[in-house]
Amino acid sequence: MTNIFSDLAGKTALITGASGGLGKHFASVLVANGVRVALAARRKAQLEQVAAELGGGDRQLVPIELDVTQAASVTGAIEATVRALGGVDILINNSGVSSNAPVLEQTEADWDRVLDTNLKGAFLMATEAARLARSTGRPLSIINIASILGFRQASHITPYAASKAALVQLTKQLALELARYQVRVNAIAPGYVLTDINREFFETEQGAQMIKRIPQRRLGSFQDLDGPLLLLASDASRYMTGTVLAVDGGHLVSSL
């Protein structure tokens, strides 16, 4: 049987927010499919640990210090990826933060921190990578990590939800303008995914009630995102751009 993702072997990817969580998982999936990966985040020591854990010393993973909110740091990370791996075929905008508080207790600093990381950071990374693609003529797949909270509401995370809604529209705007340069821009919008951070909450009665509102009656796992990730990263999605894939167990179509 033909592997529809076989074209990934030998390509290069740059993943932001790669020091743990989803970013680390995405790196492991791509490396398993023959992709060389630049791991980017603010904490280089953690990136080096991830690189050692996932790739050993084979140079398939390269740690790169990056602050997505700073244009100079973004430019430096793109240049470092080119030096280390020869170019960028796949960009995964995974960096993200949140601020958990009632909206009347959210501060200007909270808003700026979340929007700067989740939205401005994705804009800076995408446009800088696209400029590289335009100058080299090398096709590029950009994958933004959005959220179903870009379409639905939840209490106490107003800056986060606003940033993800804007990221969905940014995905479509970039797809429109960058298609002429062989740059595809798509997004994955995960629903509630089980992590070490939220595990304790979902074991409570309130958490159990939230799970019951998901049509599939379960939380997602990191592995549930593997198929969408490989699809959008590979040529299997070569005629897709401006698409947002919800991976949420049907949460977005649940009844009120």
> 30: which 2 tokens?
């791509």
- The 3-state DSSP class for residue 52 equals helix
Determine which one of 160, 181, 192, 239 is catalytic.
160
Q: How far apart are CA 234 and CA 5, in angstroms?
A: 6
Distance CA 241, CA 24 (A): 25
Is residue 78 within 8 Å of 128, Cβ to Cβ?
Answer: yes
How many alpha carbons lie under 13 Å from residue 25 in its C-beta half-sphere? 14
* Cβ(227)–Cβ(192) below 8 Å: no
Token digits of residue 179: 């298609």
Q: Is 181 a catalytic residue?
A: no
User: Catalytic positions, please?
Assistant: 160
